[in-house]
Structure 1
Amino acid sequence: MEAENQRPLLNDNLGKADGGHGNRRSGTVEFEGDIEPINRAGRFFFQFGAESKKLWYLAGPAIFTSLCQYSLGAITQAFAGHVGTLELAAVSMENSVIAGFSFGVMLGMGSALETLCGQAYGAGQLDMLGIYMQRSWVILNSTALVLCIFYIFATPFLKLIGQASEIAESAGTFAIWMIPQLFAYSINFPIAKFLQAQSKIMVMALISLVALVLHTFFSWLLIIKLGWGLVGAAVVLDSSWWFIVIAQLVYIFAGTCGRAWTGFSWKAFTHLWEFFKLSLASAIMLCLECWYYMVLILFGGYLSNPEVSVDALSICMNILGWTIMVAFGSNAAISVRVSNELGAGNPRKAKFAVVVVVISTFIIGLAISAVLLILRDYYPKVFTSSQEVQALVNQLTPLLALTIVIDNVQPVLSGVAIGAGWQAIVAYVNVGCYYLFGLPLGLVMGYKLNLGVTGIWSGMTIGVCLQSLILFAMTYRTNWNKEASAASERIRVWGGPRTSDDGPEK
């Protein structure tokens, strides 16, 4: 294996490393360039500060990007809410169920690149990043063609699962107009992981900011001023997502990524089955998380006065979504840090990065929840003019605040799993905690105990708590030396021979 100065030569015996790059201490592997064990408080805070700088260099722009992109749909919902309750319910149902389903699939399958691009970049194999992105495009666009069926038949599907006929009809019409957004997802998510692995996140943030400003203006113009209603909402939302995609492609094709992008290659059509399996595992893992709260919106539609229930839940999910975008930014940062350090053969650095980001996101979650509780009488008015909906949102705010604290940590732990390549294991954990425990418990509390929306949401939140505890235990018990060895083997098998010994570009 070439470029031995970048990482140790690892063989199948995880307790051994190449003599020039590691040594045995108490049966573990020591890697050159890794941090020393932290056994003093002063050293902990010093290393905490150093790692925080690296994480927030990535997380800051990533959080901003996530907030801007999520806000596109949220702003569309806000303008639709001022047109009427039916329009808000239709946009909410399409965003949460139809687009939410597809978003989970596309984001999940694209997240395979966080493992592959991150570890390849850490090992200095820049040439493979563009190949990985192109393979992901092939797989995601093929998947998008299949998902088009879901959009075309959205109305009968929503009626089949028991949604009110009026809401189903409006949401189905809106869904057909939103098919271009689906293909924007299939191009955008691989691009995002490709750029994140190289820490080129600031350009994504700037493009997303411009898109958000334009989206806000044209949403007001078409939906409110010109009275285009749902058609105007769809046209603006589609256009905003494709603006992001095209601007990022122009940036990449301009040669700004060096060896990471050398043009289109037939290699993108090799190893597709192995790539598909990892993409599918990533999709299942993240879809089970994204769909979990989509289910909450669906069951809200089965309660008495469904328009009010769906509207109130969609507002809460919007707020929760914005705050989760903070955690998703941290998720992206920790995925990059863990995969880069494992790829470079620095397991202790990977482990310490996890400690830093979990502490940081927990504190952020507490701060956001406190602000939300203080403003509980005011923020619902931004989304709706209905007094009844505002009152229900106010009632749900304490539960929303608790969920925010939990969900600020949970995506970060999922990011660790992605960075280390544990997607398949976490998928099983999610099935058990979410759908075999949390969801049934929520239905019992909501319907059998007559607690309504609060009961359904409370049971589902308990499921999230259980899943977070299991992920925390998995992370705590991880043998990071073994994960570094696995990363090295994955790069060797999928990456092919190194073309340069220069290592990652700075």
Structure 2
Amino acid sequence: MSSSRPIASRAGADAPRDFVSSVVHSFRSASPLAQELLARDLEACSDDGDAPDDEAVGQDSDSDDGHTLTLYRRPSGIAYGSIRPTQGPSRLDLEPVLTREERQLSRDAERSLLRDNHLLPPKHPVVEKPSLIRRWYKSLFNTKVPISESDAESAAAPSGRETEVSPLLGTRAARSPASHEHLNEQWEAAVAEGKIKTTWQREAKTIALYSRSLIVTFVLQYSINVASIFAVGRIGKLELGAVSLATMTANITCYAPFQGLATSLDTLCAQAYGSGHRHLVGLQCQRMTVFLWLLIIPVAAVWSQAEPILALLIPEKRSAELAAQYLHVSLLGVPAMVAFEAGKRFVQAQGLFHATTYVLMIAAPLNILLNYLFVWRFGWGFVGAPIAVVVTQNLLPLLLFLYVWLIDGHQCWGGFSKRAFANWGPMVRLALPGMIMVTAEWFAFEILTLASGQFGTSYLAAQSVLVTLTSLTYQIPFPLSIAGSTRVANLIGAKLAGAARTSAKVTFVGGFLVGMFNLTVVAAFRYQIPLLFTQDPEVVEIVAQAIPVCAVMQLFDGMAGVAHGLLRGIGRQEIGGYANLGAYYLVALPVAFGLSFGLDWKLEGLWFGVTIGLILVGLIEYWFIYQSDWDRAVREAEDRNHTG
């Protein structure tokens, strides 16, 4: 696993080798680089006479000293893509810094688990003679751990002796009001005694609660790009294919690399937030924003020559022309996209995860309205779609700024600083692994769009429908994988290996059920779904022929996403990264090209190859999870938290 020792700087001929070595090392653990960057910033603050904030974040006045088995972790590392959302390298080796509200959530979760294990009195009075319906409901949804007959007899029998653990483990003592005054001691003693267990009902309830708001956020974010596809698809199949081609180009050359680089803020902002110097959170965001704004210059150079470049890759010249037009307009929204990605990490580091949801609840419906007005009402046609996206992208950071200024989050903003133009080295080395991971995963799917353009305009338009459909359905299993990852990491960090295994099983079943649901819906409406995008009969027929393959893919897509989340939960996310890269590039893409071009299966061949790759990814990852030593994962997590 990762080392906690800082990376020493070297000079001379060893510098290139050391840079490569640090990048490879940071792929597995970015903590030393983050510590190096934080140390430099803290030294600069010290030189300027800045002192830590009096009320360090997470050090609330009501915090309990020695409370080490925290049961609350927040999901982070989320990159909202325009096609498939991804997560950058996980930071499980960082001790979570809790706000006051999060600390209360942690206490509530611990208290609830103590009740479920009969170590605290029930929250509601026990009904002596429940009704038949109540008994049925309780048998299905009750989260309490069943008591064995021997435990029930020993709990009912009067105890003649009191020990130092009897206030926690004895039923009579647990029911006394005094037990609530020592919740932390009770929790730690119960964990040490191995008394904390969980049920599938509790884990299902918790994971559903975690993923609920994430699903809403992902769907809202994705709708910004989907709205333009729906609007343009009604114009014609040429325009529909051009949108897909433009989106593919934008994802590979800009959105994926930029969002991958921005995932480093999930580590940098979290450590800055926990250092007590809250203004450093704003400094990290400024530094990343300036860095990405400079990278827009080469992106603009590529997009300005998009038409001749795309014309070399696809036979349809008009599609290349429209796609280039889309990119030229979309360039006006890239600076705002960068600011929003950095601002999103700024509020997430403070535990304000609902901030982006509130912003999207305003921006997403407005984007739909703008697409209708610009494309159809004002008669701007194809060019109206990218204009609507640009307006929405520029609105997102503005709304987030208003939230921070007027509602919450401004405490971590120390104003604009010239330090944003310095100390970029560790930040870049920390950001590169995230960029490689995100870009590699996106490129494997985006290359299918480029390949489909070789079959003609109708197939390119059909590919646009299939990509949009599969990406939309992915907005359900991916948040579920984040919830499962968060819950498993939560329980691992609290030294509850058995409970973590139970939660992993529940997440696995949830992924299977979601995959079956998506499969059923997609297969049942194979002829109705393409009509939502286009009325062209040729495109509709091509989509309907390929949808059965995409429907089967839904099951394995969801299962693979959940498996990757579980690997992140036990701190072995690098296995998922290697499995993804190997399965996609060594198996999926060669099979896809062989079937689509060699056997002339066209789109069915492309998606069949991806399905084979997802099956392989799932098999590798689930085999590794099945063989994993969960007790060892607990020990490794404990070591990371002590040394991180």
TM-score by length of 2: 0.63
Cα 1:354/1:463, change in 2 over 3 Å? same
Instruction: Answer yes or no: is 1:221 the counterpart of 2:376.
Output: no
Question: For the residues of structure 2 that align with 1:286 and 1:294, how far apart are their CA atoms?
Answer: 12
Q: Which has the higher contact order (CA 8 A, sep 6+)?
A: 1
User: Residues 80-117 of structure 1: CA distance to partner in whole angstroms, max 9, x if unpaired?
Assistant: 11112221111111112324542222222223344555
Question: For the residues of structure 1 that align with 2:576 and 2:281, how far apart are their CA atoms?
Answer: 25
Task: Name the structure 2 match of 1:151.
Answer: 303
- Once the two structures are superposed, the pairs formed by residues 22-171 of structure 1 within 5 Å of their partners are 32=188, 43-49=198-204, 52-53=205-206, 55-99=207-251, 101-115=253-267, 127=278, 129-171=281-323
Question: For the residues of structure 2 that align with 1:416 and 1:270, how far apart are their CA atoms?
Answer: 37
- Kept in 1: contact 2:218–2:475 (CA 8 A): yes
- Kept in 2: contact 1:93–1:297 (CA 8 A): yes
Question: For the residues of structure 1 that align with 2:333 and 2:369, how far apart are their CA atoms?
Answer: 19
Task: Name the structure 2 match of 1:486.
Answer: 640
1:393 to 543, 551, 556: 543
Task: Name the structure 2 match of 1:292.
Answer: 444
Question: For the residues of structure 2 that align with 1:254 and 1:87, how far apart are their CA atoms?
Answer: 41
Equivalent pairs, count: 460
Task: Name the structure 1 match of 2:405.
Answer: 253
Instruction: Answer yes or no: is 1:230 the counterpart of 2:382.
Output: yes
Cα 1:80/1:147, change in 2 over 3 Å? same
Structure 2, unaligned runs of 5 or more: 1-55, 60-64, 70-92, 94-186
Letter in 2 for 1:461: T
- Kept in 1: contact 2:215–2:479 (CA 8 A): yes
Question: For the residues of structure 1 that align with 2:413 and 2:489, how far apart are their CA atoms?
Answer: 20
Helix, strand or coil at the partner of 1:178: helix
- Kept in 1: contact 2:253–2:299 (CA 8 A): no
- Kept in 2: contact 1:301–1:307 (CA 8 A): yes
Instruction: Answer yes or no: is 1:174 the counterpart of 2:235.
Output: no
- Kept in 2: contact 1:117–1:193 (CA 8 A): yes
Cα 1:472/1:185, change in 2 over 3 Å? farther
Letter in 2 for 1:379: I
1:185 to 331, 337, 356: 337
- Kept in 2: contact 1:119–1:339 (CA 8 A): no
Cα 1:90/1:198, change in 2 over 3 Å? same
Instruction: Answer yes or no: is 1:203 the counterpart of 2:352.
Output: no
Letter in 2 for 1:69: Q
1:313 to 441, 463, 466: 463
Larger radius of gyration: 2
User: Residues 262-306 of structure 1: CA distance to partner in whole angstroms, max 9, x if unpaired?
Assistant: 545566566633332332211211222222221111111112xx1
Moved more, 70-79 or 267-276: 267-276
Letter in 1 for 2:228: T
Question: For the residues of structure 1 that align with 2:233 and 2:503, how far apart are their CA atoms?
Answer: 41
Letter in 1 for 2:223: S
TM-score by length of 1: 0.79
User: Residues 397-430 of structure 1: CA distance to partner in whole angstroms, max 9, x if unpaired?
Assistant: 2211122222223334445566777676654433
- Kept in 2: contact 1:327–1:411 (CA 8 A): yes
Moved more, 293-302 or 94-103: 94-103
Shift of 1:242: 1.7
Cα 1:267/1:297, change in 2 over 3 Å? same
User: Residues 145-175 of structure 1: CA distance to partner in whole angstroms, max 9, x if unpaired?
Assistant: 3322332221122123234211111111111
- Kept in 1: contact 2:211–2:483 (CA 8 A): yes
Task: Name the structure 2 match of 1:330.
Answer: 480
**How big is the alpha-carbon RMSD for the aligned residues of Structure 1 and Structure 2?**
3.5
- Kept in 2: contact 1:361–1:408 (CA 8 A): yes
- Once the two structures are superposed, the pairs formed by residues 240-389 of structure 1 within 5 Å of their partners are 240-254=392-406, 256-257=408-409, 260-264=412-416, 272-303=424-455, 306-333=456-483, 348=497, 354-389=504-539
- Once the two structures are superposed, the pairs formed by residues 390-469 of structure 1 within 5 Å of their partners are 390-415=540-565, 426-469=576-619
- Kept in 2: contact 1:114–1:335 (CA 8 A): no
Question: For the residues of structure 2 that align with 1:450 and 1:96, how far apart are their CA atoms?
Answer: 23
**Percent same amino acid at aligned positions?**
25
Shift of 1:482: 1.4
Letter in 2 for 1:282: G
Question: For the residues of structure 1 that align with 2:357 and 2:378, how far apart are their CA atoms?
Answer: 30
- Kept in 2: contact 1:281–1:424 (CA 8 A): no
Q: Which has the higher helix share?
A: 1
Question: For the residues of structure 1 that align with 2:213 and 2:235, how far apart are their CA atoms?
Answer: 33
User: Residues 114-153 of structure 1: CA distance to partner in whole angstroms, max 9, x if unpaired?
Assistant: 45556887x7868364454444324433333332233222
Question: For the residues of structure 1 that align with 2:562 and 2:286, how far apart are their CA atoms?
Answer: 27
Question: For the residues of structure 2 that align with 1:251 and 1:185, how far apart are their CA atoms?
Answer: 17
- Kept in 1: contact 2:264–2:434 (CA 8 A): yes
- Kept in 2: contact 1:104–1:287 (CA 8 A): yes
Helix, strand or coil at the partner of 2:199: helix
Shift of 1:314: 0.8
Question: For the residues of structure 2 that align with 1:337 and 1:264, how far apart are their CA atoms?
Answer: 37
Moved more, 249-258 or 434-443: 249-258
Cα 1:225/1:469, change in 2 over 3 Å? same
Question: For the residues of structure 1 that align with 2:308 and 2:581, how far apart are their CA atoms?
Answer: 27
Structure 1, unaligned runs of 5 or more: 9-13, 15-30, 491-506
